[in-house]
Amino acid sequence: MRNIIFILLFVVAFSYTYAEFEFAGNIKNYKVFDNRIEFELTNSKFNLYVIDNNIIRFRFTNQKDFSLAPSYAITYPLPSKSKFSLNDQEDRLIIKTDELIINISKKPCRISIYDTNNNLLNQDEESFGVAFDNDEVRCFKKLFNDEKFYGLGEKTDGLLRNGKQYKLWNTDFPAYTSRSDELYQSIPFFIGIRNYKAYGIFFDNTYKSYFNFGASNNRFYWFGAEGGEMDYYFIYGPDIKRVISDYTKLTGRIHLPPLWSLGYQQSRYSYYPESLVRTIANTFRERKIPCDVIYFDIHYMDEYRVFTWNKERFPDPEKLLRDLKNLGFKVVTIIDPGVKVDSNYFVAQEGVKNNLFARYPDGTFYQGEVWPSWAYFPDFTKEATRTWWGEKIGGFLNQGVEGIWNDMNEPAVWGQNFPDIVLFDDNGFTASHKKIHNVYGLSMAKATYDGLRKYSNKRHFILTRAGFSGIQRYAAVWTGDNIANDEHLYLACTMSLNMGLSGVPFIGSDVGGFIGEPSDELIIRWYQLGAFTPFFRGHSAIDTRFREPYTFGDFVEPDIKRAIQLRYKLLPFWYNEFYNSTQTGLPIMRAMFVNYQYDENSYYHDAQYQFMIGENLLVAPVLNSYDKFKKLYLPAGRWYDWDENKVIDGGKWIIKEVPINKIPIFLKEGGIIPMQEVLNYVGEKNVDSLQFLIFPSAKSEYTFYEDDGISYDNENGKYSLTKFLIEQNSKSIKLSVEKIKNDYQSSVKKYNLKFVGIDKPRKINLNKKEIKNYSYEANTLMIDLDVSNFITLELIY
Q: How far is CA 151 from the centre of its chain?
A: 11
> What is the average per-residue pLDDT within 661-685?
98
Domains 292-478 and 590-664 share a fold: no
Q: Where are the domains of the chain?
A: 13-251, 292-478, 590-664, 686-796
Share of the chain above pLDDT 70, in %: 98
* Helix, strand, coil in percent for the chain, rounding step 5: 25, 30, 45
The fold of the 13-251 domain, in CATH, is Immunoglobulin-like (2.60.40)
φ, ψ for residue 480 (rounded to 5)?
Answer: 80, -160
Domain 686-796, classified CATH 3.40.250.10, yes or no: no
Which DSSP letter does residue 704 get?
E
Active site residue 98: no
- Cα gap 43→61, rounded to integer Å: 9
Closest CA to 338 of 309, 376, 303: 376
- What DSSP letter does each residue of 757-781 carry, written as one string? S-PPPSEEEETTEEE---EEETTEE
Question: Among the options 229, 297, 410, 426, which is catalytic?
Answer: 410
- pLDDT tops 70 at residue 524: yes
Confidence of residue 19 (pLDDT cuts 50, 70, 90): low
- pLDDT tops 70 at residue 9: no
Which DSSP letter does residue 643 get?
T
Active site residue 410: yes
* Stated pTM of the model: 0.96
Contact of 645 with 780, CB cutoff 8 Å: yes
pLDDT per residue over 310-333, tens digit each? 999 999 999 999 999 999 999 999
Active site residue 481: yes
pLDDT per residue over 267-299, tens digit each? 999 999 999 999 999 999 999 999 999 999 999
Q: How far is CA 16 from the centre of its chain?
A: 44
The fold of the 590-664 domain, in CATH, is Immunoglobulin-like (2.60.40)
pLDDT per residue over 95-148, tens digit each? 999 999 999 999 999 999 999 999 999 999 999 999 999 999 999 999 999 999
Q: Which of 177-186, 339-348, 635-644, 721-730 has the lowest mean pLDDT?
A: 177-186
Extended beta strands in 429-559, E state: 431-432, 461-464, 467-468, 476-478, 507-508, 510-511, 537-538
Contact of 498 with 511, CB cutoff 8 Å: no
- Cα gap 343→169, rounded to integer Å: 33
Contact of 261 with 508, CB cutoff 8 Å: no
Alpha-carbon distances, residue 668 vs 248, 389, 544, 616, 760 (angstroms): 27, 47, 41, 5, 20
- pLDDT tops 60 at residue 16: no
pLDDT per residue over 403-443, tens digit each? 999 999 999 999 778 999 999 999 999 999 999 999 999 99
- Cα gap 459→712, rounded to integer Å: 6
Contact of 751 with 785, CB cutoff 8 Å: yes
- Cα gap 748→692, rounded to integer Å: 13
Sheet (strand 507-508) strand order: 507-508, 476-478, 461-464, 403-406, 330-335, 293-296, 265-266, 537-538, 510-511
| End-to-end CA separation in angstroms for the chain | 98
Q: In this predicted structure, what is the pLDDT of residue 3?
A: 46
Question: Among the options 297, 407, 486, 706, which is catalytic?
Answer: 407
The fold of the 292-478 domain, in CATH, is TIM Barrel (3.20.20)
Question: Among the options 172, 274, 481, 706, which is catalytic?
Answer: 481
- Cα gap 59→229, rounded to integer Å: 7
- Cα gap 191→242, rounded to integer Å: 11
Instruction: Give 202's contacts (C-beta < 8 A, 6+ positions apart).
Output: 73, 188, 189, 232, 233, 235, 247, 250, 251, 469
Alpha-carbon distances, residue 388 vs 246, 443, 710 (angstroms): 33, 13, 25
Q: In this predicted structure, what is the pLDDT of residue 274?
A: 98
- pLDDT tops 70 at residue 355: yes
pLDDT per residue over 634-654, tens digit each? 999 999 999 999 999 999 999
